[in-house]
Amino acid sequence: MIGLIFSIILMLTFSAVAEPIPVISIDGAINPVSSKFILRNLNEAEKEGASCFVILLDTPGGLMSSTEDLTRAMMASEVPIVVFVYPSGGRAASAGVFITYSAHIAAMSPGTRIGAAHPVSMMGSGGDSAETMMEKVANDAVANVRSIALERGRNPDWPERAIRESESITADEALELGVIDLIAEDVGSLFDAIDGLAYGPGKADTLRLKNPVAIERGMTNVEEFLFVILNPNIAYMLMMLGVIGIYLELQNPGGILPGVVGAISILMALYAFQILPVNYVGVALLILAVALFILEANTPSFGLLTTGGVVSMLAGSFLLTSGNASLFKISWFVILPTVALATLIAVFVLYKALRARTMRTSTGLEGMIGQKGVVAAKSSERLKNFYIEIHGELWAGIGEELPAGTSVVVEGVEGGKLKVRRL
């Protein structure tokens, strides 16, 4: 009897043990950082032998190269992947469609949407060659997502409308069309819904969970930092901070701090620009703007070079991401204040440089002109050689013969001595 009771207690204890389910959240663009973050956690889930791997997805889209790397790994995953478009108001747009279709189980929360997967050119617009290239890209994307849909047992026709016509649908419509497997309110209800759910072609596979508990895993500090600077607005501000810092260092050699901050900012911006789709003509125009500001400070052109620098900076800022999808464009609400601030700094430095040129020398012998002093002593019996005491310091003087104690004023410099006259 005691043994039976002990066995029942063990069974109840075993059944009550929580089953950890790794859960990650993607809120933003799909880029190399977010893609590697997903892949790293997917690999960890496979090593841990997790029952499933959950991705909470809310994305406006992203880079096709990163998306393809991600979907390939998801299709080959040994751990069932659950993509949950969450929270309410979220979306799985553009690249999000491919990621959702690549999941073993796809779910959405009420109030979310999926679609608008038409690829956007990163090479500008216009020209028959650009249109032909975009048609090829669209055809390849359609073929890719259809093969994924057939592999996962989902509607293979709707993604073509999402790609070619930028169609977007709600969660209810997605469930009705067979784009997703279920609708859930939150992560808890998602676990309840997927436990015992058959999925895949012919519903041949079934997911079994035992007392699942969500284990949320976030990005490392380095991943978070890199994810932030891949925002085109942040990358642009880093670039501008860099060029301003270098400009200040060139105008005031030895400042050190502006140069160090500028160099680090430019390197971080270049890291982002090598991944983001940017026009390097825009980068060249930004560098030209700094060069024009420096020329203005050294060879004043009465504002012509400064005006050219401002125009070059505005044009460079616009061209930097011109022709990109809105996700990869720099906002004018960022460009205009940044260019205005850079212009104010350049004008301030120019003003200081011009003022320094027009100021009377205040050091050395020339700086003594106009100063008043007293004849301290003769240097010899010959006339015209004196020591002049000015502000407690003795200076060699030359002028008419004057007795000690005579008040004088410095008129100029001659032969390395102060030329004085009686005050």
DSSP character at residue 330: P
How open is the CA angle 321-221-257, to the nearest 5 degrees? 70
Which residue's structure tokens are 């090593």?
Answer: 47
Confidence of residue 357 (pLDDT cuts 50, 70, 90): low
Q: How far apart are CA 256 and CA 258, in angstroms?
A: 6
- Sign of the alpha-carbon torsion through 88, 72, 122, 26: positive
Which residue's structure tokens are 């003022």?
Answer: 355
> What is the tens place of the pLDDT at every residue in 154-206?
999 999 999 999 899 999 999 999 999 999 999 999 999 999 999 988 888 89
The strand pairing partners of 335, in sequence order, are none
Is the pLDDT at 17 greater than 50? The verdict is: yes
- What mean pLDDT, rounded, does the chain reach? 84
Domain spanning 366-422: CATH 3.40.50.300: no
Residue 154 in contact with residue 144, Cβ under 8 Å? no
Is the pLDDT at 2 greater than 70? The verdict is: no
Cβ count within 10 A of residue 400: 12
Is the pLDDT at 404 greater than 90? The verdict is: no
- The proportion of the chain whose per-residue pLDDT surpasses 90, expressed as a percent, equals 43
* Spatial CA neighbour of 398 closest among 24, 412, 184: 412
Question: Could you tell me the pTM of the whole model?
Answer: 0.74
Is the pLDDT at 129 greater than 50? The verdict is: yes
Helices marked H in 153-256: 158-164, 171-177, 187-194, 221-229, 232-251
The CATH number of the domain covering residues in 16-223: 3.90.226.10
* Spatial CA neighbour of 57 closest among 94, 16, 32: 94
Q: Domain-by-domain residue ranges, the chain?
A: 16-223, 231-358, 366-422
Cβ count within 10 A of residue 199: 22
> What is the tens place of the pLDDT at every residue in 245-260?
888 887 777 778 888 9
pLDDT: is 10 or 423 the higher one? 423
The number of C-alpha atoms within 13 Å of 314 and in the hemisphere containing its C-beta is: 11
Judged by average pLDDT, the poorest of 135-139, 141-145, 178-182, 359-363 is: 359-363
